[in-house]
Amino acid sequence: MARVSLTIDGNRLEVDAGATILQAAKGAGIEIPHLCYLESLPPSSACRLCVVEVEGARNLVASCSYPVVTDMVVRTNTERVAKARRLALELLLSDHPFDCMTCEKSGACDLERYAYELGVSTTRFQGEKHAYPIDETNPFFVRDYNKCILCGRCVTACNEVQFVEAIDLTHRGFNTRVAAPFDRPLQESTCIFCGQCVAVCPVGALTEKLRRFKGREWELRKVATVCPYCGVGCNIELSVKDDRIIKVTSPATGVVNEGRLCVKGKFGFDYVNSPDRLTTPLIREGGKDGRFREASWEEALDVVASRLRQIKEESGPDSLAVTTSAKCTNEENYLLQKFARAVLGTNNVDHCARLCHASTVTGLGMAFGSAAMTNSIGEIRYADCIFIIGSNTSENHPVIALEVKEAVRRGGAKLIVADPRKIEMVEFADLWLRQKPGTDVALINGMVNVIISENLYDAEFVQRRTEGFEQLKEGIKDYHPSYVAQITGVPADDLCKAARTYARSPRASILYAMGITQHVAGTDNVLALANLALLTGNLGKESSGVNPLRGQNNVQGACDMGALPNFLPGYQLVVDKDVRGRFEEAWQTPLPDQPGLTLMEMMHEAEAGEIKGMYIMGEDPVLSHPNSARVVKGLKNLDFLVVQDIFLSETAKLADVVLPGVSFAEKDGTFTNTERRIQRVRKAIEPIGESRADWLIISELASKLGHPMRYEGPEVIMDEIASLTPIYGGVHYDRLNGRGLQWPCRDRQDLGTRYLHKDQFPRGLGKFHPIGYQEPSELPDDEYPFILSTGRVLFHWHGGTISRRSTGLTGIYPEAKVEINPQDAEVLRCSDGDLVQVVSRRGKVIAKAMVTDRSPQGVVFMTFHFREAAANLLTVDTLDPVAKIPEFKICSVQINKCS
């Protein structure tokens, strides 16, 4: 890049051409006051506070937008400059409430700061002042535009960073103001309450509700950690006062999200300090129908230890089962699977990944030899083509959706969205394929067929890096576009267009999630996608790949840690004698050698009486598993159930002993996000009540069962993990500050891996699998004429245990809704807001109808966030034969309007 030299305040310096004066000065350590300019946003040049003198220029110039020129001479602190700045401030203050003593922004307000620095305490201008009503109508933040200085940062952030465009500068002259359309409240606009506007506002015009009167800026302690909600793993900072989280912010330097958040990460944290938190262990008295009473840790752990020991002795170790938690840390998942294997002696250990990406683990395992996002989140914006299938990205992985929008809006990437629902990403798409639910294999095979028959595949890559091409060719030859159109409902032309666009793009990236995996054909779906990427050489390079978007904050980590019945940590096979030998030596005990039961099998075996005792940590199967009635039956049939959680979940209500664990804010550890990045989680507040860090509970229990686990802290546990898990071999806490590490990271010298499969696949060659289309397990018929699909919405999380205890999230989305297509609604004679009963062969629930063309005709959609209208009473528990993942996405239901 060309360089330019100039002089600022007598210092000679050289900067990149194209820099502004403000940037150049900053690089030289000279700070220029600025109110409207923000480093990450394009300048709006509205405030004139950043003016400087440029030799030869008649007027002062705004340094935030004025580019440097060779040999320019700049003065930033002359009397003339100071005067102009004071004038600019006085003008702003003439229409600003002098409210600093109660303003939440005080201490972090730029206007206050510069007024102080430039000594402006009064204003000579006594003009008309605004008296806008303060908008407190949304549950997340207060909008007081009397304090607004019209810098425009919020508008830029909303438009250019979050791509929402909910607000703009409106009206003119004295009445100019930031507003949503028709000056209506934000909740009536397209606003998604990401809080980006709040984050960039330099003054107190936009402030978080939860922090009100809870602490002044200078009293807050900041703790850098990771968002506890989704697998994106956004970097956040908790502001803490008196053992309470007051607000959440995100540093612009955060490696994963660059300061961007979604509503859950920004505003959904108050569940941590919820009055509903479990604060002491509970023991059920008087048999299965008895009541809970509070107990000491000593007593509760003794009961758990003795009951587990008793069941093990009487019925053998395999009558016990353990589920770990994708919400807990890596260290805790590691310890709990170790507890299952080394202390209880069973491989019956699994967790909720079985319900979301088990088919990814099996499918990508078969095709490549390892299952995780092949590429990094930050690479998405440089892709030439992005193919989203079965992922409602903007609601479920909001910050990843921003990367896709970046790619489309700034990088000119072509976006192909395949989804039966008209999800928000469709608005950004070049091509939308609305396939019928459950016909993904046919759709993808169709694309493969077109690519092969039009010779668009990467023959060199296929030849050098793959095997099984001939079988694939044979296997997909029937899937010509017209045949596929019959199955999927996608016009042949669109299919061809999609295939060509994907194949011709130099870097094409596939993003998928539960719309692919949660099917009886889940593994097939994943294999079909792997075929597509292998065929076009879109693997082993930047901004391409096959990218399963993982749901939970640490579901990737829980899998990595071996919380799976067939794998020890690092996907090392339980049945491999050498592998077992290493773990037996390290853990100093013989280990069971046969794979254990998967999550759904555990529940079914509990029902059958084969599993007698269960240890559930941080999971709520009653709400999150399909066919809940059967789950409850199974759990009730157990001799002993212990649940470790932070709330009395629906599952905990069935337990014999409840152990209070802690939230992410009360412990140290690591989470591994969807792009394989291991990041530090840091303790910000003390455990609530008597609750204890989950890793502590597990180690104490292990010690009671005669297998002492004495760890000084999570850091030491990670050292043990590193010593036994080759892909985590170089992961140590001292290396995790800042950017974290992406596995594989084999030793201390290894900087981690941004994208996988560069020179070869873990299994050697990538393998094609010819896959045939098969119908979903339950199809609509006369009695149950609708397809029910389930999923999440932006504002809630899974069973709702935590998100429904966030005042903001519940405030904006308080109850369950059933999405119904307008044509269907007409036939059913129901309109928006009517109560409808949704009935399947397994159960029925009542919820409010939401009439929208988002759902196609014949398909209704529900979330599983609400226990009063638990969608999983309806879903089927038919399993994918390989991955044992249930078909959450399709079952058939009838809809009746309630009278």
Tell me which of 6, 30, 89, 154 binds ligand SF4, using CB under 6 A.
154
Query: 509 - beta bridge partners?
Result: 386, 545
Q: Shortest distance, CB of residue 200 to ligand FES, whole angstroms?
A: 13
Selection from ligand FES, another protein, ligand SF4, none that 162 binds (CB < 5 to 8 A by kind) is: ligand SF4
- Give the residue from 853, 817, 822, 852 showing the smallest Cα distance to 835: 817
Distance CA 37, CA 306 (A): 64
Pure H helices in 96-183: 110-117, 153-156
What are the structure tokens assigned to 858, written together?
Answer: 């014949």
Name which of 69, 8, 65, 60 is nearest 36 in CA terms: 65
With residue 894 as reference, give the H or E element that holds it.
strand 891-897
Q: Which range of residues in 232-240, 409-417, 663-671, 683-691 is near ligand SF4 by CB under 6 A?
A: 232-240
**Residues 6+ positions from 87 with CB-CB distance below 8 Å:** none
410 touches another protein by CB under 8 A: no
CB 265 → ligand SF4: shortest distance, Å?
Answer: 2
47 vs 373, which CB is nearer to ligand FES?
47
Which residues, listed in sequence order, are joined to residue 587 by a DSSP beta bridge? none
Nearer to another protein, 163 or 567 (CB): 163
- Category of 163 on φ-ψ map: left (φ > 0), alpha (ψ -120 to 50) or beta: left
Token pair belonging to 505: 């793009």
Residue among 35 and 373 whose Cβ is closer to ligand FES: 35
Neighbours of 675 (CB within 10 A): 27
Pick from 148, 652, 724, 860 the residue near ligand SF4 by CB under 6 A.
Answer: 148
Q: What angle do CA 410, 543, 225 make, to 5 degrees?
A: 85
- Pairing outcome for strands 51-54 and 11-16: unpaired
The answer to whether the CB of 38 falls within 8 A of the CB of 58 is no
Q: Is 518 in the site for ligand SF4 (CB under 6 A)?
A: no
Q: Which is nearer to ligand SF4, 153 or 805 (CB)?
A: 153
Task: With CA atoms as reference, report the closest residue to 268 among 651, 697, 813.
Answer: 813
- Tell me how many degrees the CA angle 140-146-151 measures, rounded to the nearest 5: 85
- State which residue, 35 or 54, has the beta carbon closest to ligand FES: 35
Partner whose binding site includes residue 60, from another protein, ligand FES, ligand SF4, none (CB under 5 to 8 Å by kind): none
Helices 492-504, 440-453: inter-axial angle, 10-degree rounding: 60
Encoded tokens for 249: 């912010």
Minimum CB distance to ligand FES smaller for 199 or for 498: 199
DSSP-assigned beta bridge partners for residue 12: 7
Distance separating alpha carbons of residues 319 and 321, to the nearest angstrom: 7
User: Is 412 buried (19+), middle (13-18) or exposed (0-12) by CB count in 10 A?
Assistant: exposed
Which of 261-269, 320-328, 639-647, 878-886 is the region at the interface with ligand SF4 (rule: CB under 6 A)? 261-269
CA atoms within 13 A on the CB side of 155: 18
Q: Which is nearer to ligand SF4, 151 or 442 (CB)?
A: 151
Task: Round to whole Å and give the CA distance between 851 and 824.
Answer: 9
SS3 203: coil
* Contact flag: residue 118 with ligand FES (CB under 6 A): no
Distances (CA, A) of 301 to 571, 695, 710, 896: 31, 14, 16, 48
Burial of 169 (0-12, 13-18, 19+ CB in 10 A): middle
45 forms part of the interface with ligand FES (CB under 6 A) = yes
In the list 167, 322, 416, 520, the residue contacting ligand SF4 (rule: CB under 6 A) is 167
Q: Does 474 bind another protein (CB under 8 A)?
A: no
The correct pick among 6, 32, 262, 631 for binding ligand SF4 (CB under 6 A) is 262
Residue type, 199: A
Q: Determine if 106 is a binding residue for another protein (CB under 8 A).
A: no
Minimal distance in Å, beta carbon 199 to ligand FES? 17
> Between 189 and 566, whose beta carbon lies closer to another protein?
189
Q: Backbone dihedral region of 497: left (phi > 0), alpha (psi from -120 to 50 degrees) or beta?
A: alpha
Cβ 31 to ligand FES shortest distance, Å: 12
The partner in contact with residue 261, picked from another protein, ligand SF4, ligand FES, none with C-beta cut-offs of 5 to 8 angstroms by kind, is ligand SF4
State the binding string over 294-333 for another protein (x if CB under 8 A, else -). ----------------------------------------
Tell me how far, at minimum, the Cβ of 257 lies from another protein, in Å: 23
Q: How far apart are CA 278 and CA 690, in angstroms?
A: 8
Under the binding rule (CB under 6 A), the answer on residue 230 touching ligand SF4 is yes
Site for ligand FES in 1-40 (CB under 6 A): 34-37
Q: For residues 231 and 363, which CB has a smaller minimum distance to ligand SF4 in the complex?
A: 231
Question: What's the CA gap between 766 and 369, in Å, rounded?
Answer: 8
Is residue 153 within the footprint of ligand SF4 (CB under 6 A)?
A: yes
Closest CB 823 distance from another protein, rounded Å: 19
Beta strands in 35-161 (DSSP E): 51-54, 61-62, 73-75, 141-143
Contacting residue, 205, 343, 862, 876, with ligand SF4 by CB under 6 A: 205
Q: Looking at beta carbons only, is 49 or 404 nearer to another protein?
A: 404
767: β partners? 467
Of residues 44 and 894, the one with the C-beta less far from ligand FES:
44
Among another protein, ligand FES, ligand SF4, none, residue 274 binds (CB under 5-8 Å by kind) = none
- Candidates 15, 19, 50, 655: give the one binding ligand FES (CB under 6 A): 50
52 in contact with ligand FES (CB under 6 A):
no
Q: Which does 170 bind (CB under 5 to 8 A by kind): another protein, ligand SF4, ligand FES, none?
A: another protein
Q: Does 247 bind ligand FES (CB under 6 A)?
A: no
Which CB atom, from 48 or from 604, has the smaller least distance to ligand FES? Answer: 48
Choice from 37, 114, 229, 571 touching ligand SF4 (CB under 6 A): 229
Pairing of strands 385-389, 508-512: parallel
CB of residue 156 to ligand FES, shortest distance in Å: 12
Count how many Cα atoms sit within 13 Å of the Cα of residue 481 in the half-sphere of its side chain.
18
Which two three-digit tokens encode residue 497? 């267009």
**197 vs 631, which CB is nearer to ligand SF4?**
197
CB 853 to another protein: min, Å: 12
One of 13, 28, 41, 46 touching ligand FES (CB under 6 A): 46
Candidate list 4, 60, 64, 157; residue touching ligand SF4; CB under 6 A: 157
Site for another protein in 131-190 (CB under 8 A): 159, 165-172, 179-182, 189-190
Residue 508 contacts residue 544 (beta carbons within 8 Å): yes
89 forms part of the interface with ligand FES (CB under 6 A): no
Tokens of 763: 């299994």
Helix (H), strand (E) at residue 236? strand 235-241
> Are the C-beta atoms of residues 812 and 869 closer than 8 Å to each other?
no
Which of another protein, ligand FES, ligand SF4, none does residue 47 bind to, with CB < 5 to 8 Å depending on kind? ligand FES
**Does 472 interact with another protein (rule: CB under 8 A)?**
no
Nearest to 38 by CA among 166, 234, 196, 209: 196
301 binds, among ligand SF4, another protein, ligand FES, none (CB under 5 to 8 A by kind): none
Query: What residues form DSSP beta bridges with 819?
Result: 850, 861
DSSP 343: I
Residues found near another protein in the complex (CB under 8 A): 159, 165-172, 179-182, 189-190
Residues that bind ligand FES (CB under 6 A): 34-37, 45-50, 62, 64
Residues in the site for ligand SF4, rule: CB under 6 A? 148-154, 157-158, 162, 164, 166-167, 178, 186, 191-197, 200-203, 205-206, 227, 229-230, 232-234, 257, 261-262, 264-265, 398-399
